[in-house]
Chains A and B, each alone.
Chain A
Amino acid sequence: MRIVVCIKQILDPETIKVSRSLQAIDERTARRIMNPPDRWALDTALRFKDEDPSLEVIAMSAGRSEAEDILREALALGCDRAILLSDPYIVNARAAGLAMVLAAAIKRLRNVQLVMTGYKALDTGSGTLGPRLAIELGGWPLLMNADQVRLESGGYVSGLQNADEKFYASTYPLPCVVTVLETPKHPRYPHGAEIMNAYRLRSVEVWSTAALGLDPATLPAPTTSRQMRLPPPREFGVIIEGSPQEAARNLIATLKARRII
Chain B
Amino acid sequence: MNVFNSVINSLLSAYSAMVSWAPAAAGFAVIAALTGVVMLLVFRKLSDQERIGAAKRKVQAHLLELRIFRDEPAVMWRAQGALMKHNLRYLGLMLQPALVLALPITLLLVHLDAFYGRAPLEIGQPAIVTLAMKRPLDPAAPAPQLIAPAGVAVETPAVRALDLREVSWRIRPLRRVSGKLQFIVNGRTVVKDIEAGPGARFVPGRRVSSAFEGLWHPDEPLIAAPGIEWIDIRHPDSSMRLFGVGMDWTVWFIVLAMIAGLLLKKPLRVTF
Q: A and B: partners?
A: no
